[in-house]
Chain A
């Protein structure tokens, strides 16, 4: 008994050593699938450049910093530090997730941006909102009414098998509103997303962004998740 127990204890220590060899995968800024000015006149090249190279890059950089600190805290078994890091992980990790989706949600007009959704997603929109225009009205209203910084989402609820419009605050990813929610389309309503061009008139930005929405991508995600 005692021999077995001491072998078990020593193997626990070996397992602990193996934990330190645990690897860390860091994030990188994804390239934009189009040039910075390709979404003009809807979103200016200046905004796209700053939004991608400065804002999104900063989320990636700070997420990686938080991950390194988290990795160390976990190695040390420092529960207080692990919990203390969650705010930075959520904000910066969320910023990275959200913006990575956003760049795919947009598309230059000459590459199909703005073309309405067809097939399954088109029908689902009619089923759940009455019409395509009703969905746009709803998203614009929720985006305009959002207090402070955040995102407005077209979400697919995998469990209820229906579409929903949701908002999240700051850089909270859609999943914080429900574990079964899949983001099809997200619109950034932080002031940095539009201010240089639209100033305080958030609603103008929202009305115009539909001209460059990439419904093809949203349709692909929907069809994959709705199986």
Chain B
């Protein structure tokens, strides 16, 4: 009986809570040089995009995480809820750009080579052809109002490929919990403006020359198993 009161949840729980550690994040390395995607995307854009934009999302996400940790420890519900905007925006920015760097590959390493195998067949089945898919992604990307991303997604539940867009830094999962990102194209102006100015459609037309379909296929095969 005495034992029960010693090991009650009230005594254990706060001690356990203090031992929870916080995992923070770091900027992933680019798997290629800043200039390696030229002429499709300039080295200047790649450097700013990685070292400034993505780094800022990582820095601010870590800050928000620390503040969240403190708010959760204090039981500050209002603080927790208020932090959600910063978490979504910066966490989303980190998630999205981490995928994006893997979606790109220098031409000399296979960038632009069309998808084969299972993903190639799935594209033909769900869109008619690769050209039709590219056209749809380009059209949705060009029409996106403001900042955001255009995605080639696998719906794990319905077992079909879809084209989706998300605003700002919303990750794909905000459009559906069963959606897996195979390919994301950043259509924020910072992704292309220095090189393509206002002509977003030219950026979209050219990016296919450096798309890493091998990575997309790997993700597809793993998630559709």
Q: Do A and B bind each other?
A: yes
C-alpha spacing A97/B153, complex, angstroms: 36
Q: Are A195 and B190 in contact (CB under 8 A)?
A: yes
CB of A28 closer than 8 Å to a CB of B: no
- A55 surroundings in chain B (CB, below 8 A): 198
Distance of A195 Cα from B194 Cα, bound (Å) = 7
Total of A-B residue pairs, C-beta within 8 Å: 53
CA separation between A54 and B200, bound complex, in Å?
Answer: 12
Chain B residues with CB under 8 A of A199: 48, 52, 194
B178 within 8 A of A: no
B190 contacts which of A58, A169, A170, A200 (Cβ < 8 Å)? Answer: A200
User: Is A11 interfacial (CB 8 A cutoff)?
Assistant: no
Determine if A58 and B198 form an interchain contact, defined as CB atoms under 8 angstroms apart: yes
Q: How far is the CA of A173 from the CA of B186 in the complex (A)?
A: 25
The B-contacting residues of A in range 169-198, CB under 8 angstroms, are 169-171, 190-192, 195-196
CA distance A87 to B148 in the complex (A): 16
- Tell me the B54-108 residues at the A interface (CB within 8 Å): 56, 85, 89
A208 on the interface (CB 8 Å rule)? no
Which residue of the partner chain, among B56, B85, B146, B193, contacts A195 with CB atoms under 8 Å? B193
How many A residues face the partner with a CB closer than 8 A?
20
0/1 interface trace, chain A 37-63, chain B, CB 8 Å (1 if under):
000000000000010001100100000
Q: Provide the B182-205 mask, 1 if CB < 8 A to any CB of A, else 0.
A: 000000111001100110000000
* A147 CB within 8 Å of chain B: yes
Q: Determine how close the nearest CB of chain B comes to the CB of A7; give it in whole angstroms.
A: 49
- Specify which chain A residues have a CB less than 8 angstroms from the CB of B167 in the assembled complex: 148
B169 at the interface (CB under 8 A from A): yes
In the complex, residue of chain A having the shortest beta-carbon distance to the beta carbon of B93: A147
Q: How many residues of B contact A (CB 8 A)?
A: 20
Q: Which of A87, A91, A150, A192 contacts B189 (CB 8 A)?
A: A192
Residues of B within 8 A of A91 (CB): 145
**A144-183 toward B: CB 8 Å interface, digit per residue (1/0)?**
0001111000000000000000000111000000000000
How long is the Cα–Cα vector from A108 to B148 in the complex, in angstroms? 34
Q: Note all chain B residues with C-beta closer than 8 A to A58.
A: 198
Task: State in angstroms the CA–CA spacing of A39 and B140 once bound together.
Answer: 35
Minimum CB–CB distance from B194 to chain A (whole Å) comes to 7
Q: Does any Cβ of A come within 8 Å of B53's Cβ?
A: yes
A195: which B residues are within 8 A, CB to CB? Answer: 189-190, 193-194
Instruction: Give bound CA distance, A155 to B145, whole Å.
Output: 24
**With contacts A148-B168, A200-B190 known, is A192 near B52, CB below 8 A?**
no
B residues near A191, Cβ cutoff 8 Å: 147, 188-190, 193
Residues of A within 8 A of B147 (CB): 148-149, 191
Determine how close the nearest CB of chain B comes to the CB of A85; give it in whole angstroms. 14
A190: nearest residue on chain B (CB-CB)? B189
Apart from A54-B197, A200-B56, what are 7 other A-B pairs with CB-CB below 8 Å? A91-B145, A147-B169, A148-B169, A149-B146, A195-B190, A199-B52, A199-B194
Q: What would be 10 A-B contacts, judged by CB atoms less than 8 Å apart?
A: A50-B198, A148-B146, A149-B146, A170-B145, A171-B145, A190-B189, A191-B193, A192-B198, A195-B194, A199-B194
Please give the residue numbers on chain A whose beta carbons come within 8 Å of chain B beta carbons, in ascending order.
Answer: 50, 54-55, 58, 87, 91, 147-150, 169-171, 190-192, 195-196, 199-200
Query: Interface residues, chain B, CB within 8 Å of chain A?
Result: 48, 52-53, 56, 85, 89, 145-148, 167-169, 188-190, 193-194, 197-198
